A and B are shown apart, each in its own frame.
Chain A
Amino acid sequence: MVKILQLFTNESQLVKALQQGDAKAQRHLYDKYSARFLAVCVRYVGDSMEAEDVMIEGFMKIFERIGQYRGEGSFEGWMRRLMTNEALMYLRSRRQIEVELDAPEAQKAANVEWADAALDASELLTIVAKLPTGYRTVFNLYAIEGYSHAEIAEQLGITESTSKSQLHRARGLLQEMLQSLETGSRNVGNY
């Protein structure tokens, strides 16, 4: 095992082994990135079981298309894009990306500094998973992956203004959920 790990310390060596269809290299890649990519899939899909299926499909795409990776740019970024595309394809196949315009607006700004300190990633993941699919997708693509509204509009087949409004509403909902978490924990603290 130590020998295998030593073999793939260098990323280019790992990529080369993957391109040759090396099963050990595939396992190594899975062990290294599966947890991270499962979190990505849960962010988009919401349900952890379905997200696991999407992640498996995403890894299969990575193993299939590894020959297309030319070493330009980050390898992890390339894999993450494949994972994101897989999740979006899954949502499209389920026709879950619908535009929701009548979601409630956030009334009060949440205390983001408190949330930053008190909440860990898993809690934030749970909050994001509660968002409606359309909001969640746009928020993930814009706020976390860093896509522009034009790119999101092209990828999801919606207009830029729709993308913007979806993001705005997603932010509002997240703020509300953070506030409810904040008040809940404060009440618990008072008792």
Chain B
Amino acid sequence: MKKNPIDDLFSRKLREAELTPRAEAWEKLQMRQQTKQRRAVWIQWGPWLAAAGVSLLLIAGWLSWKDEAVSPTNTQMAQNTTKNPSVNSLSKPVQNQAVDIEFNKRQVVVQVEGKSVVAESKNNIENEQQVIQTTAPQIAQTMPQVVQEAKPSVESGLPTVETTTAVAQATPSVEPKPTEKKVVLQLPDLTEMERVASTMTPNESVTTSTELEADFLNKPRKTSKMAKVWQQLKNAKSGEKVDWDEVGFNPNKLIAKATGKKETNEK
């Protein structure tokens, strides 16, 4: 079939026609390629990065939630430990080694390198008193000075000191016997302390200290709003009673209000 002369003319002349593009065209092409590659990388890795971010957030949230959930138990455990008399029994060997001076029931707990050493301080101390205490040699070497805190106690009829700070000074191991160590308890001026103590009656001090302790134990732990709501949600799930005050709103009240309004509108 013979080709149309117009078609033929344009076909022959334009099929191999050339028009030189501007020099910027190649740079433009390269820039677009780079942008496309970057986009492709984001498309390829974007979902994975997003998933990683979300999982990190979830892990962080779970960890914080776990800490919040565990912390009340920890405090309870700590309280139990302080109340537990078996702690005293654990440190009995050390106690038995202590030089026998007339001790009352007051106990001083000294924390040295994680080991608890129970020392008993004499109640009828005058201005200064030296207590010779036998401790393990390694304790004496590592801790030349030990600060002891005496627990406040009250003995009937006797003037007492509410808080006694005793400084135990361990002399360096100069003595030939490495097993024995002298600990000097330097107590503050008793007259001063007696003056302070005399302002408070024993009964009052007991009650305040016990109240403080009870307060500390019964004080609700500071938790975030979210944790409270979460706790109530858990209660609701497990079928326990839900404290709506903790949640911040009471749906029953809201419904009651809404229905009440409706009724008033109807009236």
B contact residues vs A (CB 8 Å cutoff)? 4-22, 25-26, 28-29, 32-33, 36
Which one of A56, A116, A125, A171 lies within 8 Å of B28 (CB-CB)?
Answer: A56
Q: Is the CB of A112 within 8 A of B14?
A: no
A26-39 vs B, CB cutoff 8 Å, 1 = contact: the mask equals 01001000111011
Does A128 interact with chain B (Cβ within 8 Å)?
A: yes
Q: Is the CB of A52 within 8 A of B22?
A: yes
Which one of A34, A112, A116, A178 lies within 8 Å of B21 (CB-CB)?
Answer: A34
A: number of interface residues (CB 8 Å):
36
Q: Is the CB of A48 within 8 A of B19?
A: yes
**Which positions 113-141 of chain A face chain B at CB distance < 8 Å?**
115-116, 119-122, 124-125, 128, 139
Chain B residue nearest in CB terms to A30: B26
Tell me, rounded to whole Å, the shortest Cβ–Cβ distance linking A108 to chain B. Answer: 13
Q: Is the CB of A60 within 8 A of B32?
A: yes
Q: Is the CB of B25 within 8 A of A52?
A: yes
Tell me, rounded to whole Å, the shortest Cβ–Cβ distance linking A69 to chain B. Answer: 18
Give the residues in chain A near B4, CB-CB below 8 Å. Answer: 143, 171
Does A42 interact with chain B (Cβ within 8 Å)?
A: yes
Does A43 interact with chain B (Cβ within 8 Å)?
A: yes
Q: Is the CB of A56 within 8 A of B15?
A: no
* 5 A-B contacts (beta carbon < 8 Å): A38-B18, A112-B8, A121-B13, A121-B18, A124-B17
A123-166 vs B, CB cutoff 8 Å, 1 = contact: the mask equals 01100100000000001001110000000000000000000000
Q: Do A30 and B29 contact each other (CB < 8 Å), given the known contacts A38-B20, A125-B14, A125-B19?
A: yes
Which one of A42, A55, A142, A178 lies within 8 Å of B25 (CB-CB)?
Answer: A55
Complex CA distance for A30 and B25, rounded to whole angstroms? 10
Tell me, rounded to whole Å, the shortest Cβ–Cβ distance linking B225 to chain A. Answer: 53
Give the residues in chain B near A38, CB-CB below 8 Å. Answer: 18-21
Q: Is the CB of B9 within 8 A of A52?
A: no
Chain A residue nearest in CB terms to B24: A52
A contact residues vs B (CB 8 Å cutoff)? 27, 30, 34-36, 38-39, 42-43, 48, 52, 55-57, 59-60, 63, 110, 112, 115-116, 119-122, 124-125, 128, 139, 142-144, 171, 174-175, 178
Give the residues in chain A near B25, CB-CB below 8 Å. Answer: 34, 52, 55-56
Q: Is the CB of A144 within 8 A of B19?
A: no
Give the residues in chain B near A122, CB-CB below 8 Å. Answer: 17, 19
Tell me, rounded to whole Å, the shortest Cβ–Cβ distance linking B95 to chain A. Answer: 80
Give the residues in chain B near A30, CB-CB below 8 Å. Answer: 26, 29
Q: Is the CB of B29 within 8 A of A60?
A: yes
Q: Is the CB of B11 within 8 A of A144?
A: yes
Give the residues in chain A near B29, CB-CB below 8 Å. Answer: 30, 56, 59-60
16 further A-B pairs in the complex, CB-CB below 8 A; given A124-B9, A128-B14, A174-B6: A34-B21, A34-B25, A35-B18, A36-B18, A38-B21, A39-B19, A42-B19, A57-B32, A110-B6, A124-B13, A125-B14, A139-B7, A143-B6, A143-B11, A144-B14, A178-B6
Complex CA distance for A128 and B17, rounded to whole angstroms? 13
Chain A residue nearest in CB terms to B4: A171
Complex CA distance for A178 and B6, rounded to whole angstroms? 10
Q: Which of B10, B13, B18, B29 has the most CB of A within 10 A?
A: B10
Complex CA distance for A115 and B12, rounded to whole angstroms? 12
